[in-house]
Amino acid sequence: MKANVIKSFGGFDTFEYQEIEKPSPKPGYVLVKVLATGVNLLDHYIREGTIVPELSFPHILGADAAGEVAELGEGVNGFNVGERVIVVPGFPGNKEDLDVRPTVTAPSFGLPGLHISGTYTQYMEVPAYAIVKDETGLTAEESATLPVALSTAVHAVKGIGEVKAGDKVLIHSGASGSGAIQIQVAKALGAQVATTVRSDEKAKFAKSIGADLVINTNNDDFVTKVQEWTDGAGADVVIDNLAGDILPKSIEAVKATGVVVAFGFAAGPEVKFDIRSIFFAQKNLKGSMASDIEDLTWGLEQVKAGKIKPVLDKAFPLSQAGKVHELISKGKVVGRHVLLPWAV
Ligand SMILES: NC(=O)c1ccc[n+]([C@@H]2O[C@H](COP(=O)([O-])OP(=O)(O)OC[C@H]3O[C@@H](n4cnc5c(N)ncnc54)[C@H](OP(=O)(O)O)[C@@H]3O)[C@@H](O)[C@H]2O)c1
C-alpha cells in the first residue's frame, strides 16, 4: 500500500510517497481503508519539529480520516466490511482508559499523526472503539474535513466555553478550518457570532456560513467592534485560535466574568499580558485541547441534521502532501484541504 511518510523533521519536501507494508488488524482492531484525509495546521507544525522534539521515524502524519471498513480483527462486532466510518481524532491506546474524561488526560491518550501512526496512508489499523459510523451522507472528501475541526470545536465551544442560546461569542479566523466549524457550532447552540478575518474574500465566506458580525482586522480593531456590538459589555465567550499578540486583546474583548478559550496559536505560542486584565474583572482564561468521542458524535448529529456543513476547499492526491502543507502554512485555505490516498 502507499503512504506519504516523513523520515525526519524538515521542510515541505521532507515527504516520501512510498510503498509500505499493509497492516493486518489485531484482535479488537479494524483495518480502515482511508478514502480521504484532512490536512491540519498541526500536521505542518509536527513536520517542522515545533510540537515535539522527537518522533519515531519513519512517521505518518495526519489525524483526519474518512474511509470504509476494510477488514475486521478477531472479536470485533457492530461494524461490517465496506461500511463508511470516521476515525476518532484522538483516543486512548488502552481500553482501561476509555472512561477517562477529558480523554486527553488519559495516560494512554494518543493523537493519530503525533503520538501514533496517522492518516496519510491508504490503510490504517485502529481499535474498534476508535471509529464511528459515518451516517452524514457526505462524500468521503467532505467527511475528511470534519473529525478534528468538528470534535474540537464542540469541545471548545460547547464544553469548555459553555456557550448557550443568546450568548454573544467572538471566534477568531472565521475562514480557517477550525474557525469555520466553531462558528457553526456556536450558531447550532443558538448563539450570536462575531468573527475576525484578514481579507474581503474570507469576510464574504464567513458571512456565508452564518457569522452575524464579520470584522476584517486589516480595516478595523476587533476589540472596538465587539464593544460596539455588545453595547459596551464585551463578548460572553471568545474562542482564541491565534494567541501571540491577539490573545491579550481577546481578554480585553470579553465581558467581566466572561471566558476566553485558548484553543490555538496560529499567531505565535508566546503571549504577554498584564495579569490585572484577568483578575480585576474576574475573567476566565481556559485551555481546550482535543476532544472526547461524545463531542464528535454530537457534532456529527448536527451535520446529519443540516445545522453544520463541512467546508472543503480543494482535494489533492496524497502524493502532494508537501504542496498542501505549503498552502496552509501561508493561509491559502478556506476551511480544509484534503488528500486522496487512492487518486493518482
Ligand atoms: N485545541 C485544539 O484541540 C486544537 C484543534 C485543532 C487546531 N488547533 C489549533 O488552532 C489553530 C488553527 O488551526 P486550523 O487548523 O484551524 O488552522 P488553519 O485552517 O490553517 O487556519 C489558521 C488561520 O489563522 C489565521 N492566522 C494565521 N496567522 C495569523 C496572525 N498572525 N494573525 C491573525 N490571524 C492569523 C489565518 O486566518 P486569516 O488569514 O483568515 O486571518 C489562517 O487561515 C492552530 O494553532 C492549531 O494548532 C487546536
pLDDT tens-digit map of 193-249: 999 999 999 999 999 999 999 999 999 999 999 999 999 999 999 999 999 999 999
- Does 263 contact ligand 1 (Cβ within 6 A)? yes
Q: How far is the CA of 179 from the centre of ligand 1 (A)?
A: 8
Same domain, 325 and 259: no
pTM: 0.98
In a domain, 46, yes or no: yes
Local confidence band at 99 (pLDDT 50, 70, 90 cut-offs): very high
Number of domains in the chain: 2
**What confidence score (pLDDT) does residue 66 get?**
98
Nearest residue CA, atom 26 of ligand 1? 266
Same domain, 62 and 127: yes
Q: How far is the CA of 206 from the centre of ligand 1 (A)?
A: 14
**What confidence score (pLDDT) does residue 241 get?**
97
In a domain, 304, yes or no: no
Beta bridge partners of 285: 260
pLDDT tens-digit map of 139-186: 999 999 999 999 999 999 999 999 999 999 999 999 999 999 999 999
**What confidence score (pLDDT) does residue 344 get?**
83
Same domain, 259 and 272: yes
Average of pLDDT values for 17-43? 98
- Does 288 contact ligand 1 (Cβ within 6 A)? yes
Q: What is the atom index within ligand 1 of the atom nearest the CA of 290?
A: 3
Same domain, 139 and 79: yes
**What confidence score (pLDDT) does residue 140 get?**
98
In a domain, 238, yes or no: yes
| pLDDT at 255 exceeding the cut of 90 | yes
Query: What is the average pLDDT score of the chain?
Result: 98
Average of pLDDT values for 306-331? 98
Same domain, 199 and 317: no
Q: What is the atom index within ligand 1 of the atom nearest the CA of 174?
A: 40
**C-alpha distances in angstroms, 343 versus 22, 117, 255, 323?**
18, 21, 49, 15
Full domain range(s) for residue 268? 150-287
Same domain, 8 and 105: yes
Same domain, 13 and 140: yes
Same domain, 126 and 160: no
